[in-house]
Chains A and B, each alone.
Chain A
């Protein structure tokens, strides 16, 4: 059997005119745009050069690891990284039928300091990525909406707008205000999310607006020639190795009571890996049960039960998640490639899948590679 594959972790490198072609003329200087660097490479400039982002490491599908680096130029990239039709071709080559499209460069809009500009940029991105998927094939491409984090009303307005546009999921956020943790004040936002049926996608954890220095990939313009400090590389490797952001965000979404108060709200975890989940849930249950009367409100179920009711997680590149699939739950695991980020398998994903699932029964393979994601994200 050749399995159908739903890739729950692809990224889109934005076309160079993603923002400039959509935002009003008055934003011409401050809209995210591509600039030339002295070394002949290109970079994304935010807010008029306040932040400059080198995008080489996000565009490595099929490249020799010895040639990996931060330097990039659009005319040297595979068109599939940033153009919809070539992306479909790449998906065909790699045996991918449908894919979620997460941001890459666009995820860094959270560093824009001016609130109005930030909201305009987020809206332009949502319009742009929606058009991008429509130009490709909206039945096979499921772009991620981003929600601006400047306040409850703005967040709800954009959520309603993207729902109407046909988005099926949005990037998780810890607070519509951009800083702090979930409180019951935010309930109208989650109520709307539940009502619209959009899935909350925790790609590596919940987003927040506050600049997080240990995982930032931005460098001040004057310093872009300097490689990133090793500390931030270690932090990135740690997050990609299942630490920090994902478990913490999952724990916060459960214990804050959002899943209890909105039982039909669904969560997907993308590029988070899965094998840490069982022991994490046991620890979460134990901490919660012992301390619950110290808090102001109690949950009606164990923390792990909310996970099993409302969350699906995914594997990108791990044998152990497949080996322990019955512990995690065969209905709980989805699959992703992380194309075109560093370390993906393109164009050999089929071969990798064969190895990963060589001793797994067909019905379980089908659930993990297709059905669980198709059910969650509403593919036919």
Chain B
């Protein structure tokens, strides 16, 4: 018997894990007419596997999404095959085993390559791929442990009617949260015509997740490094962003979508709707709140929606955010809100704390009272997505 069994165990729900999509996730689900252009895995000679989008117009090699457990000297951003990565990245039963090692009871599951469905331009194909993803992820979680793996659905950003239909479909399946891929009306900012969509989100209790703060702007053209542009012609923008800039972007603060939800009054009109910032940092939220209050106070007469409260009130009432290893955020937890913070491991991508999460948690939360710790380590997350906490180790 392991001594840990007798320990008083704090329930841990990981607020940000990612599925590395199984190779047949789309090909086994889309109809025959979309099979050619739906995302599929291709082998690059001597360079491992890559996901090919829109019939190979652009590629995303298997890399940093799937290197859990590797140190800085080993990790690769390309050249990996599915055979080289942890099976827990793409097999649900294996995922549960990896979670047990890391002393994580439950996890909220976000897309890795599924995020790129946003960049598929053809609306039929786009919707077909969104639906296949939502069906596939749902089944993936069911075949693992439906109580412990909590999936997050994609919602197409190709029109309000389509978005509402897919929202209703996934809500009926049992999804509790959605990934924001852009305003459903496809604009730069929220439109009044989209209110029925937000009303449905509120009514269905569907959490709106802003991964890395959410994509900014309606342009869905894929931005691809030159070396990953495929041979078949496609509508892509070639960008060769230096690695250093990409790292700075990853650590940076994206508060644009959040500000849009507040300043155009969405959170005011739909007071029970909940937003979650996933892998976007959390320490900046109170600062953002006081500065938005400031801007709102003098600009409300000419610019923004009429609001019943100050912008920071909506942040406190309707926004949660994940926190990983940022100690300063835990020190400032009473400013951010103990009820707003959700611990996350980011398994299995390159920034994950796996398999040392218990140590990271101890280091980060060692001086935090047990009741506050419980909220941030799991109960906030379970409450947000309205799932029953299941402590696997008791």
Chain A interface residues toward B at CB < 8 A: 60, 65-66, 68-70, 181, 183, 214, 227, 229-231, 233-235, 237-238, 240-244, 247-248, 250-252, 254-257, 273, 275-276, 278-280, 282-284, 286-295, 317-321, 323-324, 327, 342-343
Contacts and interface: CB of A to CB of B under 8 A. Distances in A.
Interface stretch (B69-77, B97-105, B227-235, B374-382): B69-77
Interface in B213-268: 216-217, 241-245, 247-256, 258-260, 263-264
B281 A248 contact: no
Q: Label chain A's interface by main secondary structure.
A: helix
B309 to A, nearest CB: 16
Given A280-B284, A319-B290, A233 B248 contact: no
Given A241-B288, A256-B245, A292-B72, 10 more contacts: A66-B301, A230-B263, A233-B299, A238-B256, A240-B294, A243-B253, A251-B251, A286-B351, A295-B244, A324-B332
A287 B251 contact: yes
B298 A283 contact: no
Nearest to B330: A279
A78 to B, nearest CB: 17
Which among B77, B189, B283, B297 has the highest number of chain A CB atoms within 10 Å? Answer: B283
Contact of A242 (B188, B245, B287, B298): B287
A255 B304 CA distance: 36
A237 to B, nearest CB: 5
A280 B247 CA distance: 12
B324 interface: yes
17 contacts: A70-B302, A214-B188, A230-B263, A230-B303, A231-B260, A233-B303, A234-B259, A237-B263, A237-B299, A243-B284, A244-B253, A251-B248, A282-B283, A288-B247, A291-B247, A294-B77, A294-B243
Q: How large is the interface on B (under 10, 10 to 19, 20 to 34, 35 or more residues)?
A: 35 or more
B284 A276 contact: yes
B284 A289 contact: no
Contacts, number: 204
A251 B252 contact: yes
Interface of B: 64, 72-73, 75-77, 187-189, 216-217, 241-245, 247-256, 258-260, 263-264, 281-284, 286-288, 290-292, 294-304, 324-329, 331-332, 335, 350-351
Contact of A248 (B249, B283, B350): B249
A187 to B, nearest CB: 15
B336 to A, nearest CB: 9
A5 B39 CA distance: 59
A377 B264 CA distance: 40
Contacts of B216: 214
